[in-house]
Amino acid sequence: MTGTDTGIGKTVVSSLLVASIRGFRPTAYWKPVQTGIEQDDDTAEVRRLARCTRDEIVDAGIRLPRPLSPHLSARLAGRSIAVDELTAIADRLPKDRFWVVEGAGGILVPLNDMETMADLIAELRLPALITARSGLGTINHTLLTLAELRRRSIPIAGVVMVGKRNDENRKAIEEYGGTAVLAEVPFLASLGPDSVGNLAQGLAAELRRVAS
């Protein structure tokens, strides 16, 4: 799970994926890198929104205090992030379930002086599902993300658009990006386990395509 930007809705989409796929096959969530942990804990939020059991959540990885790019947050915390440190955690994860792995920011967000989120995605050998805004600017951001994933030979699972429905932007992303928009997620007036559960049920057929 990656996105075209930060604050794009990856955590909500991750919650929807867990809630919709768990009835189809065993599912679990992992956030390898989290910055601003004192203000934003995406793992705790997915646990809450998707009503995850202990077996559906892995809370391990890099946890940093400042809400900044991972490389800078790590530097200010006096440590570094290495992709092989994270892939070592991934190697220990149970293999009997579908993993929703949420990235930090977009695919070219630096993790250190040499590696980006795209390098981690490539090492994990998982297809990338892109969360994108539905509004103005999303065509460019989404097509750039798709192009970089393809340049690195990273498989693409599709796109999920978040926000007010925009048929023209969806059509452009599918046509020019050569990929499917799997689902469109509206803004929720009340973001809680009930609203996420209801929406996941309504989008189950679309979202389960990533786990087929």
Active site residues: 31
Exposed/middle/buried for 91, CB within 10 Å: 0-12, 13-18, 19+? exposed
Cα–Cα distance measured from residue 90 to residue 110, given in angstroms and rounded to the nearest whole number: 19
DSSP state of 159: E
Structure-token pair, residue 119:
């390098």
Structure-token pair, residue 128:
């990338």
Cβ 48 vs Cβ 56: under 8 Å: no
